[in-house]
Amino acid sequence: MTTAPPDADADASDGDSAVDAAERSTEDGSLLEVQNLRKSYGGITAVDGVTFDVTAGSMTGLIGPNGAGKSTTFDLITGVQEPDSGQVVFDGTDVTGFRPYQAVERGLVRTFQIARELDEMTVLENVMLAPQDQVGEKLWRSVTPGVRDGVIAQETELRERAWDMLDFFEIDHLAEEEAGSLSGGQRKLLEMARVLMTDPDMVLLDEPLAGVNPSLEEKLLERLHELRDDGYTFLLVEHDMDVIMNHCDPVIVMHQGQVLVTGSPETVQNDERVLEAYLGGEVEE
């Protein structure tokens, strides 16, 4: 289903800027372009003019001290919250203000710091539920002769895909367990399996390794690299600097709601402003 940006009555100048940004994202290889995003809550500005690009096929890191605005930026990009101003262009389309399900339909999905599985459903059921627009979602389709055959065929295909996904993340042995019984690390793997069942082009990962033991962390990172090599694009928020510096390039650093530095891991590690931000000193412009 094709969806249009909610602000169809935007003025001509806004329309021109959207077209320009879409053309730039196509020409320079950027899959995601974030332009001057802003979000305030009362007198507090959480995101203050954030601008950056994410190149297709990259694993880009997004770091910053607590309260830097990273998760809010994720919310604004994926439609969990609506920005006060600014623009988000994904794959050449202005998706600013899209609802989360509309972003998913475009191939832009995210995970959360705390996994949001359905606890009383099995692991397999959680994964099968993820794809949108399933034929069996409408009751009448499930009971109408002829149409019902299509429902059964699609469910069989989804079940096979779900088993393949569980096998990829090595949690197929947990398929019939209730999701609520999983450990923190296993929930992270389940969440990734669910996300990939939506056939995304880009995944925003919000602290995917938080609470994950070292063996599962290594497994998840291996899977992410395999997926990136297959053409997926990732934007990764993570507090473990070793993970960011060893697995992400480029790295975007946020501080006090703004982008402070963007560059290679080496560039970021040697930037005095980054050290000041993490050590709590004053950051010079």
**What does the pLDDT look like over 199-239, one tens digit per residue?**
899 999 999 888 788 888 888 899 999 999 999 999 999 98
Average pLDDT score over residue span 266-275? 91
Mean of pLDDT over the chain: 83
Instruction: Give pLDDT, residue 115.
Output: 66
pLDDT of residue 15: 46
Contact 79, 102 (CB under 8 A): yes
pLDDT of residue 132: 60
Give the residue extent of every domain in the chain.
12-116+195-279, 118-181
Is pLDDT of 120 > 80?
A: yes
For 27-60, the pLDDT digits (tens) are: 568 999 999 999 999 889 999 999 999 999 999 9
Whether domain 12-116+195-279 has CATH 3.40.50.300:
yes
In whole angstroms, what is the distance from residue 237 CA to residue 64 CA? 9
Tell me what pLDDT residue 151 has: 59
What per-residue confidence (pLDDT) applies to 112? 81
